Amino acid sequence: MTSIVPKEQSSDSKKDLSTEEHEDFRLFGLIAFLIADGMTFAGFFAAYLTFKAVNPIGPDAIYELELPLPTLNTVLLLVSSFTFHRAGKFLEKNESKQCQKWLLITGALGVAFLISQMFEYFTLPFGLTDNLFASTFYALTGFHGLHVTLGSIMIMIIWWQTRIPSGRVNNENKFPFEAVELYWHFVDGIWVVLFIILYLL
Amino acid sequence: MTILVKPSGSPPEKLQPTGWLKYLSFSLDHKVIGLQYLVCGFLFYLIGGSLAGAIRVELISPLSDFMPREVYNQVLTLHGTIMIFLWIVPVVNGAFGNYLIPFYVGARDMAFPRLNAVAFWLIPPSGLMLITSYFINGAAQSGWTAYPPLSITTPAAGQIIWILSVLLLGGSSIFGGINFIATILKLRRPGLKLMQLPMYCWAMLGTSILVVLSTPVLAGTLILLSFDIVAHTGFFNPSLGGNVIVYQHLFWFYSHPAVYIMVLPAFGLVSEILPIHSRKPLFGYTTMVFSIMGIVVLGLVVWAHHMFTSGTPPWMRLFFTIATAFIAVPTGIKFFNWVATLWGGKIALNPAMLFSCGFIINFVLGGITGVALAQVPFDVHVHDTYFVVAHFHYIVYGGSVFVIFSSIYHWFPKFTGKMLNENLGRFHFIITFIGFNLCFAPQHWLGLNGMPRRVAEYDPQFQLINQLSSVGALLMALSTLPFLWNILQSILYGDDAGDNPWNALTPEWLTSSPPPVENWEGEAPLVLEPYGYGEKHLNKTQEEKK
Q: Which chain B residue has its CA at the smallest distance from A133's CA?
A: B235
Average pLDDT over every residue of B213-239: 93
> Which residues of chain A lie closer than 8 angstroms to B179, CB-CB?
29
User: Chain B: nearest CA to A194, how far in angstroms?
Assistant: 16
pLDDT over 60 (residue A7)? no
Q: A interface mutation test: which of B3, B204, B303 has the most A CBs within 10 A?
A: B3
Cβ of A55 within 8 Å of Cβ of B216? The answer is: no
Average pLDDT over every residue of B265-289: 95
Residues in chain B: 546
pLDDT over 60 (residue A1)? no
Q: B interface mutation test: which of A22, A24, A173 has the most B CBs within 10 A?
A: A22
Cβ of A43 within 8 Å of Cβ of B217? The answer is: yes
Cβ of A55 within 8 Å of Cβ of B527? The answer is: no
> Which residues of chain B lie closer than 8 angstroms to A143, CB-CB?
220, 223
Pairwise CA distance, residues A97 & A91, whole Å = 9
Of B185, B234, B532, the CB nearest to A3: B532
Inform me whether the C-beta atom of residue B216 falls under 8 Å from chain A C-beta atoms.
yes
User: Chain A: nearest CA to B316, how far in angstroms?
Assistant: 15
Q: How confident is the model at residue B543 (pLDDT cuts 50, 70, 90)?
A: very low
Q: Which chain A residue has its CA at the smallest distance from B170's CA?
A: A36
Residues in chain A: 201
pLDDT over 70 (residue A134)? yes
Q: Which chain A residue has its CA at the smallest distance from B254's CA?
A: A43
Average pLDDT over every residue of B343-359: 94
Q: Which chain A residue has its CA at the smallest distance from B188's CA?
A: A22
Return the amino acid letter for B282: L
**CB neighbour list of residue A91: distance below 8 Å, 6 or more residues apart:** A99, A162, A169, A170, A171, A174, A177
User: Chain B: nearest CA to A22, how far in angstroms?
Assistant: 6
Average pLDDT over every residue of B123-129: 96
> Which residues of chain A lie closer than 8 angstroms to B223, CB-CB?
139, 143
**What is the model's pLDDT at position A4?**
46
Report chain A's mean pLDDT, rounded to a whole number: 85
pLDDT over 50 (residue B546)? no
User: Chain B: nearest CA to A137, how far in angstroms?
Assistant: 11
Task: Tell me whether residue B527 is exposed, middle or buried, using C-beta atoms within 10 angstroms of its C-beta: 0 to 12, 13 to 18, 19 or more.
Answer: buried
Of A12, A40, A132, the CB nearest to B234: A132
Average pLDDT over every residue of B22-34: 90
Cβ of B525 within 8 Å of Cβ of A5? The answer is: yes
Q: How far is CA B496 from CA B102, B412, B513, in A?
A: 24, 11, 9
Q: A interface mutation test: which of B526, B531, B538 has the most A CBs within 10 A?
A: B526
Cβ of B224 within 8 Å of Cβ of A35? The answer is: no
% of chain B beyond a pLDDT of 70: 95
Cβ of A43 within 8 Å of Cβ of B178? The answer is: no
Of A20, A28, A139, the CB nearest to B7: A20
> Which residues of chain A lie closer than 8 angstroms to B518, CB-CB?
17
Q: Where are the alpha helices (DSSP H) in B417-498?
A: 422-448, 463-493
Cβ of A4 within 8 Å of Cβ of B250? The answer is: no
Q: Which chain B residue has its CA at the smallest distance from A49's CA?
A: B246
**What is the model's pLDDT at position B14?**
52
Cβ of A43 within 8 Å of Cβ of B253? The answer is: yes
Pairwise CA distance, residues B425 & B432, whole Å = 10
Average pLDDT over every residue of B393-402: 96
Axis crossing angle, helix B351-373 with helix B244-278, rounded to the nearest 10: 150
**If contacts are CB pairs under 8 Å, which of residues 250-269 in chain B contact chain A?**
250, 253
**What is the model's pLDDT at position A61?**
60
Q: B interface mutation test: which of A2, A30, A50, A57 has the most B CBs within 10 A?
A: A2
Average pLDDT over every residue of A11-37: 73
pLDDT over 50 (residue A2)? no
Q: Percentages helix, strand, coil for chain B, rounded to the nearest 5?
A: 70, 0, 25
Contact B19, B84 (CB under 8 A): no
Average pLDDT over every residue of B223-242: 91
pLDDT over 70 (residue B332)? yes
**What is the model's pLDDT at position B10?**
46
**What is the model's pLDDT at position B7?**
47
**CB neighbour list of residue A128: distance below 8 Å, 6 or more residues apart:** A134, A135, A138, B231, B233
Phi, psi of B489 (to 5 degrees): -55, -45
Cβ of A131 within 8 Å of Cβ of B6? The answer is: no
**What is the model's pLDDT at position B320?**
95
Report chain B's mean pLDDT, rounded to a whole number: 92
Q: Which chain B residue has its CA at the smallest distance from A135's CA?
A: B233
**What is the model's pLDDT at position A156?**
95
Cβ of A128 within 8 Å of Cβ of B253? The answer is: no
Instruction: Name the region of B71 (left: φ>0; alpha: ψ -120 to 50; beta: rest).
Output: alpha
Average pLDDT over every residue of A128-153: 92
**What is the model's pLDDT at position A11?**
41
pLDDT over 80 (residue B2)? no
Phi, psi of B347 (to 5 degrees): -80, 130
The tens digit of pLDDT for each residue in A53-94 reads 887 665 556 677 788 899 999 999 999 999 999 999 999 888
Q: Which chain B residue has its CA at the smallest distance from A28's CA?
A: B182
Average pLDDT over every residue of A97-112: 94
Cβ of A40 within 8 Å of Cβ of B112? The answer is: no
Cβ of B233 within 8 Å of Cβ of A129? The answer is: yes
**What is the model's pLDDT at position B238?**
87
Contact B276, B533 (CB under 8 A): yes
CB pairs under 8 A between A and B: 161
Q: Which chain B residue has its CA at the smallest distance from A31's CA?
A: B178
Most confident of the ranges B20-29, B89-98, B518-527: B89-98
Other beta carbons within 10 Å of B167: 18
**What is the model's pLDDT at position A57?**
65
Of B216, B523, B525, the CB nearest to A4: B525
Q: Which chain B residue has its CA at the smallest distance from A42's CA?
A: B217
Q: How confident is the model at residue B258 (pLDDT cuts 50, 70, 90)?
A: very high
Q: How confident is the model at residue B13 (pLDDT cuts 50, 70, 90)?
A: low
pLDDT over 90 (residue B128)? yes
Give the pairing of strands A4-5 and A20-23.
unpaired
> Which residues of chain A lie closer than 8 angstroms to B186, CB-CB?
23, 25, 28
> Which residues of chain B lie closer than 8 angstroms to A186, CB-CB?
none
How many H helices and E strands in chain A?
5, 2
Q: Which chain A residue has its CA at the smallest distance from B529's CA?
A: A3
**What is the model's pLDDT at position A6?**
42
